[in-house]
Structure formats: structure tokens, C-alpha cells
Amino acid sequence: MSLVKKLVRPEIQEQTSYHVPDATNLVKLDAMENPYALPETLKTELGAHLAQVALNRYPVPTYRPLKQKICQKFGVPSGFDVVLGNGSDELISMLSIVCAKPGATVVAPVPTFVMYAISAQLAGLQFVGVPLRADLSLDLPAMLAAIAQHKPALVYLANPNNPTGTWLSEDDVTQVLHAMKDIGFVVLDEAYQTFAPGTSMARLPEFSNLIVMRTASKIGLAGLRLGYMSASGEILAQVEKVRPPYNINVLTAAAAEFLLDHLPLFDAQAAQIRAQRSEMIATLSALNGVHVFPSQANFLLIRVPNSELIFNKLLENRILVKNVGKMHGLLNNCLRVTISTPQDNQLFVAALNDALK
Ligand SMILES: Cc1ncc(COP(=O)(O)O)c(C=O)c1O
């Protein structure tokens, strides 16, 4: 038996590594990125700012100035702090490590962001998915039943959800928080908050088991790899123990601190994307054979007659979307399409029209 076969945990040997398709020369509508680059003058200023960063030094691992700015700019309630992650992906894996007691369980509605299950399984936690309803809304009774049955250490609610784009009502969120009161933590993953009608951030003082997670990725800084989450000091103190001390590199920290002083630029881009979202919903809903699910995020989930065929035809026209048709039974023949610039969106609509013929 090879050493790898003998030594590596079987559940890791069974996993496949996260696949990201090559998007060279393609119109990239597969990863919910903000399509807008920084204005030239800001790029130059940022370059000058980053040139001053001491690359020979380790970061200061408290990240105090960056954390303070995040708290101040993103409505973290007074008295609450944040923990930083190398993207929210890393925050999710930190939470898995923190809660990975033998027999512990993670619950989330499915389909949802795949890293909740992957990260749980890698840490040796059991993952239980609670199927959404056929219209992709939350099945609250099923969720409450799963909480009562499995007593999960963690419940993830992505709001808006990926890959569906659906928005959970405040009432649904509240019911889950109450049901989990003496049982476990509820992670409200607000990765797409800038495109959404609300946030649970202000509710942190109300629920001692609430964790609110956000990322800089979807506002336009996916390449920086910066996520943050807020919760009670008691929870954050434990997560800090598993955070690699220098997980945010000096260039990311410096760029984020600089760019957080330019949030109106990113807010304006988000507003453009939201306006394009409304236009795309109207345009796509008018197409024969296309069903558009409601979305409060920067992408749309659409059902087409044959997602594999349409995905390949779009690719022939240099358009890359995400075929989620095989990801879960509820997503049969579905594609997930990022809302982009008006030009990219038009290219997509024209190619989709062609593909549907
Ligand atoms: C719901 C949700 N949470 C978290 C992430 C990961 O974000 P990050 O780029 O911060 O790792 C994604 C990425 O698509 C997501 O959809």
C-alpha cells in the first residue's frame, strides 16, 4: 500500500479538489465577480501606497487598524469586533475546526454554498443538508425539525443564498436563531449583502449565538482575499485561537485599508449591477423556455430546457457561466449567471438566444 493510501484520511482521499475552469479569453460570468476595474487615478494612488509597504516584515497579527476600519465602515455594532480571514472560505474552515468535536454536526439548507459541506467534512464534522422547497425557498419546518433532531453545532444560512439568489425573510432567520438558542451557532453568510435588501449585522447584540460573515470579494475585491466575521467577544476569542497568525498578507491589509476610504465607488458599482439585474430579469423572463428565479444577489439562476447543451453552446460563443444542473436535484437544468457590465450582459443574452434556437 502506498504511503499516501496508508496515511491520508480516507474522507480526504475521496474528495476531489475544488475545480476552477480556465477563463482565458472568455466573458467570465461564472464566479459572481464585480466586472468593474478601479479607475486609473485610483490604481496609481493605490500603487504608490502599496510601494511603501514593508514586504520584509511580517504583518502585525492583530490587524487593529484594518479591523477598526471594517467595523466602522460596515455597521458592526458598537462593542463588537471582527475576525479576519483569507476570504470567507478561511473563516468557514476556522469555524469547522473550532466546532469539530467527535459527533458534531453542521446543518444548512441545500443547495447552498458548497464550502460549508466540504469544510465540515474535511474537519471530520457530519454535514446534514435540508432540501429547499421546489421553488427554492427555505423549508422552515424541515429546518426546525433538522435542528431538533441533530442539535447542530453550526447552522449556515447564506443570505442571499448561492447558487439560488434567494432572500430569507427576517422572520425565518429569527425562528432559526431562536431554535438554535441553547444548541449552537448560526452563521449568517452575507457574502452578497451589497446587492441585498437588508442585513442581520445590527442584530448581533440581540442573539449571543449569531455570527455574521461577510467578504470583500463580491463588492469588487475578490483578488484581495479578505473576509471578516463578527460575533460576541466570547465566540471570536475562540476563533482567534485557530486563525493562522499572519493569514492576511501585508499587501491585502494595506490595499483594503486604502480602498475602504473609497467605498462610495464600490457602492456606485453595486447600484449599477442591481440596475442591470432588474433589466436582465425582465429580458430573460421574456425568453421562451427560460425560467428566472428571483434573486437579491449579483447573479441569476435560470432554468433552461437542457443546461448542458446550452452551457456548451454559450462556451462556443466565448461565454462562461456555471452549469449547476448536476449539483443538486432541485437545480436540474439550471445555469448560474453573474450580472456583469451592460455589454457583457448583452453578449450573454444574444448567445443564449442563439443557443435556445
Ligand atoms: C455564500 C458565499 N459565501 C462565501 C463565499 C466565499 O467568498 P470568499 O471569496 O470571501 O472566500 C462565496 C463565494 O462564492 C459565497 O457564495
pLDDT at residue 68, as a whole number: 98
What integer pLDDT is reported at residue 219 of this predicted model?
Answer: 96
Distance separating alpha carbons of residues 235 and 100, to the nearest angstrom: 15
Q: What digits encode the pLDDT tens for the residues 192-227?
A: 999 999 999 999 999 999 999 999 999 999 999 999
Q: What is the mean pLDDT of residues 113-134?
A: 97
Q: Kindly report the pTM of this predicted structure.
A: 0.97
Residue 94 predicted with pLDDT over 90: yes
Ligand 1 atom index nearest CA of 161: 1
Give the per-residue pLDDT at 20.
87
From 20, 33, 96, 162, the mutation candidate for ligand 1 (largest count of ligand atoms within 8 A of CB) is: 162
User: What are the structural domain ranges in the chain?
Assistant: 3-39+264-356, 56-261
Q: What CATH number does domain 56-261 carry, 3.30.360.10, 3.10.450.240, 3.40.640.10, 3.90.1150.10?
A: 3.40.640.10
pLDDT confidence of residue 18: 81
Which whole number is the average pLDDT over 251-265?
98
CA angle at 112 for the pair 107 and 117, rounded to the nearest 5°:
50
How much of the chain exceeds pLDDT 70, in percent? Answer: 100
Q: Does the pLDDT at position 262 exceed 90?
A: yes
CB-based burial, 35-62: b 16+ in 10 Å, e otherwise: bbebeeeeeeebeeeeeeeeeeeebeee
252: pLDDT strictly greater than 90: yes
Quote the Cα angle for 129-320-132, to 5°.
20
Site to probe by mutation for ligand 1, drawn from 113, 166, 195 as the one with most ligand atoms within 8 Å of Cβ, is 113
pLDDT at 282 over 90: yes
Which residues are CB-contacts of 243 (< 8 A; sequence separation ≥ 6)? 83, 84, 85, 94
DSSP string, 305-330: S-HHHHHHHHHHTTEE-EE-TTT-GG
Question: How close is the Cα of 18 to the center of ligand 1, in Å?
Answer: 13
- How large is the average pLDDT for residues 305-320? 97
Rounded to the nearest integer, the mean pLDDT of the chain is 97
pLDDT of residue 261: 97
Q: Using the mean position of ligand 1's atoms as its centre, give its distance from the Cα of residue 354 in Å.
A: 31
- Closest ligand 1 atom to residue 85 Cα is 10
What CATH class has 3-39+264-356? alpha beta
Which helix (H) or strand (E) element contains residue 126? strand 126-131
Q: Give the range among 18-27, 54-63, 155-164 with minimum mean pLDDT.
A: 18-27
Q: Which amino acid is at 31?
A: A
Residues contacting residue 193 through CB under 8 Å, at least 6 positions apart = 199, 214
pLDDT at 188: 98
Q: What are phi and psi of 164, to 5 degrees?
A: -90, -30
Among protein residues, the one with the nearest Cα to ligand 1's atom 7 is 88
Confidence of residue 110 (pLDDT cuts 50, 70, 90): very high
What's the rounded Cα separation, in Å, for the pair 355 and 309? 8
For ligand 1, residues with CB inside 6 Å are: 32, 87-89, 113, 158, 162, 189, 191, 215, 217, 222, 227
CA 242 / ligand 1 centre spacing (Å): 20
Average pLDDT over residues 236-245: 97
- Give, as one character, the DSSP assignment of residue 77: P
Residue 81 pLDDT exceeds 90: yes
- Ligand 1 atom at shortest distance from the alpha carbon of 218: 9
Contact 177, 209 (CB under 8 A): yes
The residue whose CA has the least distance to atom 3 of ligand 1 is 191
Q: What is the pLDDT of residue 11?
A: 85
How many C-beta atoms lie closer than 10 Å to residue 223's C-beta?
A: 11
The one-letter amino acid at 193: Q
Ligand 1: distance of its center to the CA of 215 in Å? 7
pLDDT at 83: 98
- Residues 25-76 have pLDDT tens digits of 999 999 999 999 999 999 999 999 999 999 999 999 999 999 999 999 999 9
Residue from 162, 180, 172 nearest 138 by CA: 172
